[in-house]
Amino acid sequence: MDEVGRIGAAVADATELRGPRDEESAFGEAFGEELRDILALESWRTGENLAEIYERTANEVAAAVALEARVRDPIRTRLFPRIAARASAPVGAGVYRATIEDLTAVHERVLFTGGVEACDATAYTHATLPLSVTQIGVSLVTYNGAQGTWVHRLFRRDLRATQADPADEALALLERRSWADEEASRRKADLSELARRAIRAYAERAILLRRSAATWRIGRGSPAPYELLTGSAGTLDIMVEATRLLEELICGHQTFLYVQDGLGHRMLSTIGAALQPLEYAIVGTLADTIEPVVEASHYSLPTSSDTSVGGRLLQPREWIRRFCDEVATQVIVGVYRASELATARVFYAHLAHAHEAALVALADSVLLPHRGVPMLLDLAAQVCEATFGPDSLAGALQLGYTRAGDPLRYFAGRMSGGRH
């Protein structure tokens, strides 16, 4: 059993969970009722009985919180010591507590002096048969009042004048409406969505690296999200260019911080639930988290980007493997908790600056005690939404449709997207 598996076993032991069991009984234990009873419509309540629904929900929440409180001490005493004892644990792994003096120093010397800048992005898509428009906006903010915004619009036309006769074009479209072509069309649409997400993620990281002048750079999510690591966006050029950019940020700049909205990983959730306010834990590395994604992805697409290292041309799989082994291992994955009111948050930072990054995350997150996320990230999101929200795209589109003599037909209720 690997080290992560041993930590999982420690969690199970600490919470006094039983050993293997069949799927049906596992479902019943997890949800408190059997699957066959849930599928029976007689067990469902009518929507009018809201008081009973609210009472059941409140009772479930109270029971869950009580259970978490009971298992917190066993996790702290039995699981926490094993975090640093793992053979694959990064340097400095373990659980630490920040002091009020630490946070005060970060506020006075770094955060409120403009030494930290946060970046966020948003994307909205207006999709119609003749045209799909995606607007990607990125904002960069700091507490000293400086800010910057960038925007790019992607235009995709699915109807193109490729037929000499409009009737032939219409007939060709009609004949392509088979089940197989419909599925191919759906996959193409999914591919376009992944491409948009990849472009947005790349732009956000590029602006954070190339346009920020602050010592500390804060971003949202993982520094290396799924859409940047695979060829699922239809090209491996994005993967190559993104990993090259991330290598510059990670190995060159080093003083960065990424904070994830959700905990995600079961082990990180367990550790985070047991943390006290102002505590943080350094658990693993970015290589641990992206390894399954890299191994499950196919890197057979051609790439026009330069993948040579030291005069040797690397294949795409060799390129991403080098990134995992040499770059992602320099990024720690940790968990922190800013207040008793908020859930714990996952953070990523350079190995050499992990403790400083944790203090920056805590110092900014205590300013939003009900959420426990850096307030500067929230400010960046608000600036981005205010500047590049759906209305900013709708106005230009409405003008275009009006000039084309069709102001209403393609416009109502077609905007989608947001920060994620």
Q: What is the mean pLDDT of residues 370-388?
A: 94
Number of CB atoms found within 10 A of residue 119's CB: 27
Whether 36 and 115 map to the same domain: the answer is no
Q: Is the pLDDT of residue 323 over 50?
A: yes
Q: Which residues of 205-244 are buried (b: 16+ CB within 10 A; e: fewer)?
A: bbbbbeebebbbbbbbbbbbbebbbbbbbebbbbbbbbbe
Residue 150 — φ and ψ, nearest 5°? -135, 150
Look at residue 372 in the predicted model and tell me its pLDDT: 93
**Local confidence band at 325 (pLDDT 50, 70, 90 cut-offs):** very high
What's the domain count of the chain?
2
Look at residue 11 in the predicted model and tell me its pLDDT: 45
Query: Given the structure tokens 């639930």, which residue do they identify?
Result: 273
**Local confidence band at 263 (pLDDT 50, 70, 90 cut-offs):** confident
Query: Given the structure tokens 């009609």, which residue do they identify?
Result: 174
Whether 221 and 275 map to the same domain: the answer is yes
Tokens of 187: 């996959």
Look at residue 353 in the predicted model and tell me its pLDDT: 98
Q: What is the mean pLDDT of residues 144-168?
A: 73
Question: Is residue 40 in a domain?
Answer: yes
**Local confidence band at 24 (pLDDT 50, 70, 90 cut-offs):** low
**Local confidence band at 158 (pLDDT 50, 70, 90 cut-offs):** low
Look at residue 218 in the predicted model and tell me its pLDDT: 98
Beta-bridge partner residues of 141: 118, 147
Tokens of 291: 């390894």
**C-alpha to C-alpha distance for 69 and 134, rounded to whole angstroms:** 46
Q: What is the mean pLDDT of residues 219-229?
A: 94
**C-alpha to C-alpha distance for 240 and 230, rounded to whole angstroms:** 10
Look at residue 7 in the predicted model and tell me its pLDDT: 47
Question: Is residue 420 in a domain?
Answer: no
Whether 62 and 103 map to the same domain: the answer is no
Residue 420 DSSP one-character state: -
Tokens of 121: 């992005």
Question: Is residue 408 in a domain?
Answer: no
Task: Give tens-digit pLDDT for 138-152.
Answer: 999 999 887 899 999
* Nearest C-alpha neighbor of 123 from the set 27, 201, 29, 240: 201
Residue finishing a domain among 41, 72, 103: 72
Provide the domain limits for residue 126.
94-401
Question: Is residue 364 in a domain?
Answer: yes
**C-alpha to C-alpha distance for 72 and 84, rounded to whole angstroms:** 18
Question: Is residue 407 in a domain?
Answer: no
403 Cβ partners below 8 Å, 6+ apart? none
Q: Is the pLDDT of residue 234 over 60?
A: yes
**C-alpha to C-alpha distance for 70 and 64, rounded to whole angstroms:** 10
Look at residue 18 in the predicted model and tell me its pLDDT: 41
- Strand, coil or helix: 111: helix
Task: Give tens-digit pLDDT for 202-211.
Answer: 999 999 999 9
Whether 169 and 211 map to the same domain: the answer is yes
Q: Is the pLDDT of residue 326 over 60?
A: yes
**C-alpha to C-alpha distance for 351 and 358, rounded to whole angstroms:** 11
Beta-bridge partner residues of 277: none
Q: What is the mean pLDDT of residues 250-275?
A: 90
**Local confidence band at 420 (pLDDT 50, 70, 90 cut-offs):** low
Q: Is the pLDDT of residue 129 over 50?
A: yes
Question: Is residue 10 in a domain?
Answer: no
Query: Given the structure tokens 């999101």, which residue do they identify?
Result: 381
Whether 37 and 174 map to the same domain: the answer is no
Between 55 and 181, the more confident residue is 55
Between 255 and 29, the more confident residue is 255
Question: Is residue 412 in a domain?
Answer: no
Look at residue 163 in the predicted model and tell me its pLDDT: 47
Question: Is residue 62 in a domain?
Answer: yes
CB 365 within 8 A of CB 277: no
Residue finishing a domain among 72, 107, 128: 72
Look at residue 71 in the predicted model and tell me its pLDDT: 73
Tokens of 303: 């790439």
Look at residue 50 in the predicted model and tell me its pLDDT: 61
Whether 250 and 149 map to the same domain: the answer is yes
Whether 141 and 277 map to the same domain: the answer is yes
Whether 107 and 60 map to the same domain: the answer is no
Q: What is the mean pLDDT of residues 172-198?
A: 63
Whether 52 and 120 map to the same domain: the answer is no
Residue 254 — left, alpha, or beta (φ > 0 → left; ψ -120 to 50 → alpha)?
left
Q: What is the mean pLDDT of residues 321-327?
A: 96
Calculate the alpha carbon distances from 321 to 158, 306, 327 in Å. Answer: 36, 16, 10
Q: Is the pLDDT of residue 48 over 70?
A: no
Whether 46 and 125 map to the same domain: the answer is no
Query: Given the structure tokens 């947005």, which residue do they identify?
Result: 200
Residue 178 — φ and ψ, nearest 5°? -85, 170
Look at residue 55 in the predicted model and tell me its pLDDT: 73
Task: Give tens-digit pLDDT for 90-121.
Answer: 999 999 999 999 999 999 999 999 999 999 99
Between 350 and 276, the more confident residue is 350
Number of CB atoms found within 10 A of residue 337's CB: 23
Q: Is the pLDDT of residue 267 over 80?
A: yes
Whether 64 and 211 map to the same domain: the answer is no
Percentage of the chain beyond pLDDT 70 is 77
Q: What is the mean pLDDT of residues 252-267?
A: 90
Whether 196 and 289 map to the same domain: the answer is yes
